[in-house]
Structure 1
Amino acid sequence: MTQGKGGQMRELAMILMLWPGVVLADGWQQLTGDQIADALTSRLVVFPDGVAQYFLDDGRTVRAGGWGEWRVDGDLYCEIWSGKRPICAQVDSDGPGLRFREDSGFTRAGSYGDL
């Protein structure tokens, strides 16, 4: 029994939904928890305003001279600064770039820098 084009498209859609990391329509791929840890551990991300953020392997992070903590919680990146409440975000990658998308709608994107 052969499937029509519509059946093949439904199968492809199901496979993509089950594939680790969701490919988003704008060319970014949503990262899973393990992928987030791999993408950030011992890395530097530079944002368009020139601010750089370091992600140390011990869970500390530094940005603009301030120290905080970072962790992966499920499939979210979370950071906390100076005793404030944690901020969590989905993380997307397009290869050289990372995008952090918070539930509030706030989004910031940067690219890898050199340590």
Structure 2
Amino acid sequence: MRLVWIALMGLWPALAAAETVVWMPLTGDEVQQALTDRKLQYDSAWQEFRASGRTLYNAGADSWGYWRVQGDQYCSQWPPSDLWACYGMARSGDRVRFIGAGGDITDATYAD
């Protein structure tokens, strides 16, 4: 038992320094407010969300699409497809999270 205690005490500094991230789900109004006229930075891309409903995504080249809020979800459409894909959203400080129907997660931070 003493060895377990000593081992745990050795981990204490790392545990104490660990950041606790709390993701708060967003309502439709909060999604609208979180994205309108904002720019997000992903790992290797960025995206702007215009109040007009246009969105610009760049991962080395510009790609224009459309975005809207439907219920409590962010939805996007990327021509030439006419299909809309929708995602739940959550926020933690200056970070936002997109949650797909299959549970896939994409995180971003505000770049503006």
Q: Does the TM-score normalized on the shorter chain lie above 0.5?
A: yes
Give yes or no for the alignment of 1:44 onto 2:42: no
Number of aligned positions between the proteins: 89
Match of 1:69, SS?
strand
The CA RMSD over aligned residues, in Å, is 1.4
Identify which of 18, 26, 32 aligns with 2:27: 32
Unaligned ranges ≥5, structure 1: 1-25
Unaligned ranges ≥5, structure 2: 1-20
Q: How does 1:19-98 map to 2 (within 5 A)?
A: 27-49=22-44, 51-64=45-58, 65-84=62-81, 85-98=83-96
Q: In structure 1, what is the equivalent of residue 11 of structure 2?
A: none
Q: Deviations over 1:85-113 (max 9, x none)?
A: 11100010001000000112221000000
Query: 2: distance between equivalents of 1:83 and 1:59?
Result: 16
Query: 2: distance between equivalents of 1:104 and 1:60?
Result: 25
Match of 1:36, SS?
helix
Structure 1 consecutive aligned stretches of length 4 or more whose deviation exceeds 4 Å: none
**TM-score (structure 1 length as normaliser):** 0.74
Query: 1: distance between equivalents of 2:105 and 2:85?
Result: 12
Greater C-alpha radius of gyration: 2
